[in-house]
Structure 1
Amino acid sequence: MIRTGGERGFVTVDGRSVLIRRYGRGPAVFVIHGSPQSSRAVEAVCQTLAARGLTAIAPDTPGAGASDPLPLAEPNSADFARALHRLTETLGLSRVGLYGFHTGAATVAAFAALFPQNTAALVCDGLPAWTEAERARFLADYLPPFELRWDGSHMAWLWARMEAQTVFFPWHSTDPAERMSMAVSSPEHIHANAMDLLATGDAYRPVYRAAFTFRAEAVVDRLPSTALVASTASDVLAAHLDRPALAGRGLILPDIASLHDAAADHLAAHPGDPAPDHIGGGFLALGDDRLAVHRLSEGPGRPLVMLHDAGGSVTDLTAPTGRPVIALDLPGHGLSAEGWRGPIDWPETVRAALNALSLSDAEITGVGAGSVLASVLSGAEPLPCRVLGAPEPPPSLSPEWDGAHLIRAFRIASCERLFDPWYGRDPARRIDRPADLHTTHVRAVSLLRAHRRWSDLETWAVQATH
């Protein structure tokens, strides 16, 4: 799986939860990703900015990744710019640098036009300048609904759609004249983009739609002198720099590394306010890795810690009310999926987290493999649970060139509600676990996030009960 770096945290802005990644220390630069992606997609430029002595702050756009959406049916780039401005205010920053890619470029351009006094400098990487014909075509056909199917065929559609985006522009074209001169992206790259869209679901459409309703001609004359509009030679939007709205304003660079270097130099030459020392919460540092910590309920009394099943996440848990309840996304699962490359000592890792959170005396409970882990942490004799382990070798959920791993995850999730273990597939192993299509899909996405840690945790739980 792709490992991403940076410090992560959640910030509450006007009641919305916003996930942020932070890289480096120094003047603040907000880095806004494209669609239908999340902040993990801009790590490379964030690392370059951090190496220049800047703080790259990369939020998940509202409605993308792990950030809550805006309370608007069809937000536009100006709406996203205002939301970004509120984020800068929440963090106590009055003047900032900005970098945006494609959809993000439209957002930062709108920000600079609306809030010039708060803009130290900006870099627009691939700023769109649509013709009316293009805008009408994309709004009509580019953003089809993401509809779940009982047979998992929506997973095949998703893979084909994300792969096609690396071959044609627009992605749904089959016209050789609209084929891009670039290699098909690696399975790992396509998988990362697919996981971003899976995190958002059908809500990807309003976020992406803002890119196509953006009008460069309405903002470019209001950009400050510290604006740099640039593109790589291979970017499909490079041709937009010759269009009337952007003619004479843009710079074409040979490759992405050159563009990132130029962006870092430009933003370092026009620094904004220093970034705060700490941004957001919700994650606990354990060495180089981060564990997601969720406070599900407040109240008096002894805290309750809840642990989810193998292959799941905290979203699977139902917390009691009236007492403090804390849930962890276990290593390699949910929002803790990034990192954790080496072997995991499950009890010791969770014990270290509980000690760091001053929860060593908390009551611990869990579901499935999480219940076995809770018993071991509590010093009780582990009770046999429904976890019976995965077949040997366990099924691979690693990215494959044809996207078969996405369908495999959905089929496993479907079988889990029919058989225990899921691979038993005979009348003796029959169970009747209620699960609608949405629940099955959510479980499949959780399995894809957990990847091999799903079977690792199940195997550990089986060994701990024998």
Structure 2
Amino acid sequence: MTTHATHMRGSSHRAYLELPWGQVHHRRAGDPDGPALVIVHQSPLSSATYEPAMAALGAHGLNVVAIDIPGFGMSDATPEQWSIPDYAGALWEIVDALGLQKVHLLGQHTGAIISAEATRQKRDRVLSLIFQGIPLYSDEERVKKAEGYAPGYTPAIDGSHLKVIWDRVRWLYPTISAESASRQVAEYLSVGPDYGVAYRAVFAHKPDIAAVADVPTLLLHGSEDVLDRMNDVVTAAFPHAPLVRIPGGTDFVAEEQPEVFADSVAAHVLAHAAAPKPKFTPVYTATVEVTGGRAGRARSTTGALDVKLTRPAERTEGDTGTDPEELFAAGYAACFASALGVAERRKRVTAGPVTVTASVTLGTRPGGTYGIAARLVVSAPECPQEVLEELVAITHTVCPYSNAVRGNIAVITEANGTS
């Protein structure tokens, strides 16, 4: 809503932490027992950038924490000029003070550089990374930026410095709303005349990309983000990281398109989440009794299911027996198709007629054990391919079968829409 974009408050829970250098302001939303997502904003702004998306992220079951970097927003300033390793070390002190263990880090611009360094420092505590624009400057660019990118301002009794800040914001982001620009002026003022303190740390720091190369990473930003120009450099540095560009979004896509932003972030986090704490509310229980194993019979207590089971290798022509893999495939396909309907409602789109075909394969693993793998083919001939792929990604976060097997078995998904 517009009211969220015009000030630094919001509807998420806000609080302060007491750290050695001062107080740190942060926002929280979502499930305290869910996967922990820590958001680190760009400078010289604040966590208010993410306020409109906090509820949408929390609705996916995430434990969302957006911090104000020390010296920015409503957090106390650092006692001296900090380096990026200093900011990263402070981030871990903040995470510890929040009582979090393993986390997912989402960093934008300056926040992305801090998140990358924090991951280098404590790789074992980072489950995944999301870079909402990471400035991988060349040595020449860093020198040039350091010379005059953030000149600061001098407070003037006639208020002319406010126009200086306003003009800078409009120069950087010419298409954003007046409400968003107004909030940014307040954020600049909250830092003070020397708003370039974190910029200096960025320009003096060369990220160690090799140290975080094995971390599951998502590159996510609006198509109009000022760092969209660096896609070639960034994708070359992170060749295994998918790049998601949200059409029409600026640096502030989290407030412009909060639901779209949250869906993409949550899909990545949930795909790389650690095993969640037990939290389960029963809705329905099916009970099936099997006698005779794979060559026996399966009967449900309701009587609706009463089928003969046959080992695939022993099946003969005319044999009507089924097997556990067919039953699992039927359940997965049916559940996924229904969950896709939830995704349609969430995105306010219609996919048209949808067919889900599930294949479940039984196989052997090293050491003589058995395992299964699944493949889903989602066909929607009336749905644009790009829309269908987005719906399928959301569906995997909703479908209980996908949630149950995530991290345990391989699931390949193919989406067939219209080009």
Q: TM over 0.5: same fold? A: yes
Aligned match of 2:377:
none
- The TM-score with structure 2 as length reference comes to 0.57
Mapping of 1:27-426 within 5 angstroms?
Answer: 27-73=35-81, 75-167=82-174, 183=175, 185-216=176-207, 218-243=208-233, 246=237, 248-250=239-241, 251-255=243-247, 256=253, 257=257, 258-271=260-273
Q: Could you report, residue by residue, the CA deviation over 1:239-279 in whole angstroms, capped at 9, with x for unpaired residues?
A: 3231276262441423345554222111122236989xxxx
Q: Could you report, residue by residue, the CA deviation over 1:102-121 in whole angstroms, capped at 9, with x for unpaired residues?
A: 11111111111111111121
Decide which of 3, 10, 14 is 1:8's aligned counterpart: 14
Distance 1:144 1:193 in 2: 17
Unaligned 5+ segments in structure 2 are 248-252, 278-419
**Residue type of the alignment partner of 1:24:** G
**Residue type of the alignment partner of 2:101:** S
Distance 1:67 1:155 in 2: 22
Distance 1:206 1:104 in 2: 13
Distance 1:249 1:147 in 2: 45
Larger RCO (CA within 8 A; separation ≥ 6): 1
Decide which of 23, 26, 46 is 1:17's aligned counterpart: 23
Residues 259 and 116 of structure 1: is their aligned pair in 2 closer, same or farther, counting only changes over 3 Å? same
Q: Could you report, residue by residue, the CA deviation over 1:86-132 in whole angstroms, capped at 9, with x for unpaired residues?
A: 11111222211111111111111111111111112121110111122
Runs of 4+ with deviation above 4 angstroms? 256-259, 272-275
Q: Could you report, residue by residue, the CA deviation over 1:219-255 in whole angstroms, capped at 9, with x for unpaired residues?
A: 3443433222333332221232312762624414233
For the 8 Å contact 1:8–1:22, the answer to whether it is kept is yes
SS at match of 1:261: helix
Q: CA deviation at 1:144?
A: 0.8
Unaligned 5+ segments in structure 1 are 168-182, 276-466
**Residue type of the alignment partner of 1:268:** L
Q: CA deviation at 1:148?
A: 1.1
SS at match of 1:204: coil
SS at match of 2:237: coil
Q: Could you report, residue by residue, the CA deviation over 1:139-186 in whole angstroms, capped at 9, with x for unpaired residues?
A: 11111122112322112211111111113xxxxxxxxxxxxxxx2x22
Larger Rg: 2
Distance 2:57 2:222 in 1: 18
SS at match of 2:39: strand
For the 8 Å contact 1:32–1:108, the answer to whether it is kept is yes
SS at match of 1:230: strand
**Residue type of the alignment partner of 1:50:** G
Computed over aligned residues only, the root mean square deviation of the Cα atoms, in angstroms, reads 2.3
Residues 44 and 213 of structure 1: is their aligned pair in 2 closer, same or farther, counting only changes over 3 Å? farther
Q: How many residues align?
A: 257
Distance 2:127 2:42 in 1: 22
* Greater strand content: 2
SS at match of 1:97: strand
Distance 1:20 1:213 in 2: 27
Aligned match of 1:404:
none
Q: CA deviation at 1:15?
A: 4.5
Percent of aligned positions that are identical: 30
Q: CA deviation at 1:202?
A: 2.2
Residues 113 and 101 of structure 1: is their aligned pair in 2 closer, same or farther, counting only changes over 3 Å? same
For the 8 Å contact 1:28–1:54, the answer to whether it is kept is yes
For the 8 Å contact 1:253–1:259, the answer to whether it is kept is no
Q: Could you report, residue by residue, the CA deviation over 1:72-99 in whole angstroms, capped at 9, with x for unpaired residues?
A: 32x2322211101011111222211111
Residues 58 and 221 of structure 1: is their aligned pair in 2 closer, same or farther, counting only changes over 3 Å? same
SS at match of 2:26: strand
SS at match of 2:120: helix
Distance 1:99 1:85 in 2: 14
SS at match of 1:112: helix
Distance 1:233 1:101 in 2: 14
SS at match of 2:193: helix
Distance 1:187 1:46 in 2: 22
Distance 2:276 2:28 in 1: 13
